[in-house]
Structure 1
């Protein structure tokens, strides 16, 4: 059983969100830290899935499509978190509430809007 989800922050999300989540004790990394800048969304999700991290993104359309493809093809991913564009503090707060409330196993393979 995996309790705490680990976060992989897409390049369209302010890196401050990662800093704020780290300060709250969440295991967080960014596209930049993983040297994945400029890679297509499909590759970002595949990478995050391979290392067991949920993806935090603003890119709703592409990740909704990718999630559907994963479901159709019986592929798994940790979770896709789609955040409406807000200030970094509000996004970090919403992510923290979700990750404090639900375990990684409970949110696995889901597409959630925060």
Structure 2
């Protein structure tokens, strides 16, 4: 089963909605409010969770600094509200499922870009 860690900037409403849908979801603000991005990524990896964020700095951390990750889903939305985040995220989770593991995804209204994390 997929497990997720939601970054604090992505929002509590998304966490609640994912939990209601039955997804094992943790919220970084519940335990590590204000944590550095690298710490957030380490926590996700330690707990075997895919990170959900709207902070594009994680792309640099994963690819340029070569930090390990279970996976990252980066939300880059023009209509950035909780309803749109949830709608697009659920679509991707249901469509790709376990294929999310080990990947860096960028989700926008225009589509999905997916890259393997080395």
Please tell me the TM-score bracket, short chain as reference.
0.7 to 0.9
Give unmatched runs, 5+ long, in structure 1: none
- TM-score normalised per structure 2: 0.80
Residue 103 of structure 1: CA displacement?
2.7
- TM-score normalised per structure 1: 0.82
Give unmatched runs, 5+ long, in structure 2: 108-118
Q: Is the 8 A contact 1:76 1:109 kept in 2?
A: no
Equivalent position of 1:91 in the other structure: 85
Distance in 2 (CA, whole Å) between partners of 1:82 and 1:63 is 8
- Point out which structure has higher relative CO (alpha carbons under 8 A, 6+ apart): 1
Q: Is the 8 A contact 1:20 1:89 kept in 2?
A: no
Equivalent position of 2:40 in the other structure: 44
Quick check: which one's strand share is greater? 2
What is the aligned-residue RMSD (CA, Å)?
1.6
